[in-house]
Amino acid sequence: MAGHVSTGSAGSTGSAGAAGRVDAVVVGAGPNGLAAALLLAAAGLETVVYEAADTVGGGMRTAEPTLPGFRHDLCSVAHPMALASPFFRAFGLADRVDLLQPPAPYAQPLDGAPAGIAYRDLDRTAERLGRDGRAWRALFGPLVERWQGMAEAALSDQRRFPSDLPTAARLGLRVAEFGTPAWAARFREPAARAMLAGVAAHAVAPPRALAPAGAGILLAALAHAVGWPVPRGGSQAIADAMAAELVRRGGRVLTGHRIESLAELPAARAVLLDVTPAGLLHLAGRALPDGYARRLRAFRYGSAACKVDFALSGPVPWADPACAEAGTLHLSGTREETVAVEREVAAGRHPARPYVLAVQPGVVDPGRAPAGRHTLYSYAHVPHGSTVDVGDAVERQIERFAPGFRDLVLARSVTTAADQQLHNPNYVGGDISGGAMSLRQTAFRPVPALDPYATPLDGVYLCSSSTPPGPGVHGMSGLHAARRALRHRFGLTGDPLARLA
């Protein structure tokens, strides 16, 4: 329990405060834990955050796992939801962190054919898609025009009536279309179909289902509305900015301080946990009622990610030069291939040609590597709990779309799915989504309840991505949980975001 006090570049955060009573305690300094702590501190409450790792950030941490001077994001790297999130808009993220925009948010390379490229410019994207361009513009244009309403609906607690009902309805209709067998009827060419399948697979689940379709439509629309930016220097910049503001408002962060039981925490009127259901079961022990504990144990975790980082001697030599403008690339081939490999993974198998998500931050941030060199972030989807090192398969998949890639590799670092949980306990079995992205678990995370954030323990709330709205760097689970704690524990009923100004 004897940790040190630090917030990375945010500086010292003061004493532990464990000996006395505080207003609020947060366990976990990921995006949602930090968001919740910020809102509590902004309300004038004495707030302390405990983080097991030596740096804040959770999925927003940046390190050098390959070679000195090559900076890699350990999980999240591109951040469309951060720009769209009501929490981060109120926080003023774009004014605090240098968010760099690749000309093309994402690309879908294809064998022997032009890649599908999603540019920030919707019209430019439609033009490249040829005869499918009009259908692409019709699909995303109305969502892009009203992207704030779309983001509010998608990132809500799923218990509130959306303020922009027409946009929420448009979003719902598009999700329904692409989550059914009719999902590609409006497109005739391989590129557009493959692009939608590739972006929907961010849900780490077979794309043709409602939950992955929702993720795909949202992310694809945000590509044209706000882009998929990468923070200069790495995602750690977002975490450090949040921690610095928390400290400025009187909050405290204790890193290197692992909590094994709720009994170890100081007395507090509210405790917010940025942990999974498995984490809550561990922290609470036998304090939880049997029925609630049983429902938490029934929570399903999804397929996983094996992380593969590369230090390169030069830029990736994509077969289609247009891919050099893309920040993120989905390396899975056609729509049919993407569906097939995701079904293999869901069935517990390791595909020979896995779905690989790759990000080349050097497109806009050359400082991620020494002069003339580059970093390449990637992960492959693998079965839950996999101990397999799929580095060679990932390298072959990249080489498939970028002949000569192997010749550029200076070093490679692999984190298997099983090892992901060692670095971040919230990644149970390598599931980076905080739980399987099924329709049921999208609507009812972590258990069916009117208030998914409250637990049966007095004053204890969940605020992780295992609660609505689910995975992503958006801080909204922290916002929704903090709003409830402020109202029910402290009698504060105003808009918590207004206090961030």
CA distances to 42, 109, 267, 352, 486 from 496, in Å: 8, 43, 23, 48, 8
C-alpha 400/C-alpha 161 separation (Å) is 46
Mean pLDDT of the 430-434 span: 95
> How does pLDDT run across 233-245, given as a tens digit for each residue?
999 999 999 999 9
Which run of H or E residues covers position 172? helix 165-178
Mean pLDDT of the 440-456 span: 91
C-alpha 26/C-alpha 34 separation (Å) is 8
Strand partners, 191: none
Neighbours of 110 (CB within 10 A): 19
pLDDT at 8 over 80: no
Q: Which residue has the higher pLDDT, 21 or 229?
A: 229
Mean pLDDT of the 80-89 span: 96
Residues 6+ apart with CB under 8 A from 263: none
Q: Where are the beta strands (DSSP E) in 179-303?
A: 230-231, 252-254, 268-273
C-alpha 460/C-alpha 481 separation (Å) is 10
Which pair of structure tokens corresponds to residue 117?
Answer: 């490229």
Mean pLDDT of the 470-492 span: 97
> How does pLDDT run across 457-466, given as a tens digit for each residue?
999 999 999 9
**239 residue type, one letter:** A
pLDDT at 301 over 50: yes
Using alpha carbons, select from 269, 274, 268, 273 the residue that is nearest to residue 19. Answer: 268
Which run of H or E residues covers position 331? strand 326-331
* Residue appearing with tokens 């040190």: 4
Return the DSSP state at 112.
T
Q: What is the pLDDT of residue 1?
A: 31
**3 state SS of 241:** helix
The residue count for the chain = 501
pLDDT at 17 over 70: no
Q: What is the pLDDT of residue 11?
A: 36
One-character DSSP codes across 345-394: HHTT---SS--EEEE-GGGT-GGGSSTT-EEEEEEEEE-TT-----HHHH
Which range, 18-27, 179-188, 347-356, is most confident? Answer: 347-356
pLDDT at 490 over 80: yes
C-alpha 93/C-alpha 34 separation (Å) is 13
Q: What is the pLDDT of residue 44?
A: 96
Mean pLDDT of the 216-226 span: 97
Q: What is the pLDDT of residue 236?
A: 97
Q: What is the pLDDT of residue 163?
A: 87
pLDDT band at 438 (very low <50, low <70, confident <90, very high): confident
User: 213-241 burial, b if ≥16 CB within 10 A, otherwise e?
Assistant: bbbbbbbbbbbbbbbbbbbebbbbbbbbb
C-alpha 401/C-alpha 319 separation (Å) is 6
**What's the whole-model pTM score?**
0.93
Percentage with pLDDT > 70 across the chain: 96
Mean pLDDT of the 215-226 span: 96
Mean pLDDT of the 336-362 span: 96
Q: Which long-range contacts (CB under 8 A, 24 or more apart) does 259-263 make?
A: 259/27, 259/50, 259/52, 259/283, 261/285, 262/287, 262/457, 262/460
Q: What is the pLDDT of residue 336?
A: 93
Mean pLDDT of the 421-427 span: 92
196: Cα separation from own chain's centroid: 18
pLDDT at 16 over 80: no
C-alpha 356/C-alpha 107 separation (Å) is 12
Longest dimension (CA), the chain: 67
**Cβ atoms of 306 and 345 closer than 8 Å:** no
**Cβ atoms of 57 and 67 closer than 8 Å:** no
C-alpha 109/C-alpha 376 separation (Å) is 16
Q: What is the pLDDT of residue 9?
A: 35
> How does pLDDT run across 88-101, given as a tens digit for each residue?
999 999 999 999 99
Average pLDDT, the chain: 93
Q: What is the pLDDT of residue 273?
A: 98
Crossing angle of helices 147-154 and 133-145, rounded to 10°: 80
pLDDT band at 7 (very low <50, low <70, confident <90, very high): very low
The pair phi, psi for residue 365, each rounded to 5°, is -130, 75
pLDDT at 361 over 60: yes
> How does pLDDT run across 132-155, given as a tens digit for each residue?
999 999 999 999 999 999 999 999
Q: What is the pLDDT of residue 441?
A: 87
> How does pLDDT run across 155-175, given as a tens digit for each residue?
999 888 888 899 999 999 999
Q: Where are the beta strands (DSSP E) in 80-211?
A: 99-100, 104-110, 113-118
C-alpha 236/C-alpha 277 separation (Å) is 26
Q: Is the peptide bond before 231 cis (omega within 30 degrees of 0)?
A: no
pLDDT band at 207 (very low <50, low <70, confident <90, very high): confident
pLDDT at 14 over 90: no
Q: Are strands 22-27 and 47-50 parallel, antiparallel or unpaired?
A: parallel
Which pair of structure tokens corresponds to residue 486?
Answer: 């402020």
pLDDT at 12 over 70: no
C-alpha 50/C-alpha 416 separation (Å) is 26
377: Cα separation from own chain's centroid: 15
C-alpha 99/C-alpha 79 separation (Å) is 9
Using alpha carbons, select from 221, 204, 99, 118 the residue that is nearest to residue 170. Answer: 221
Percentage with pLDDT > 90 across the chain: 88
Domains detected in the chain: 8-64+234-299+435-500 (3.50.50.60), 78-230+303-423 (3.90.660)
pLDDT at 434 over 50: yes
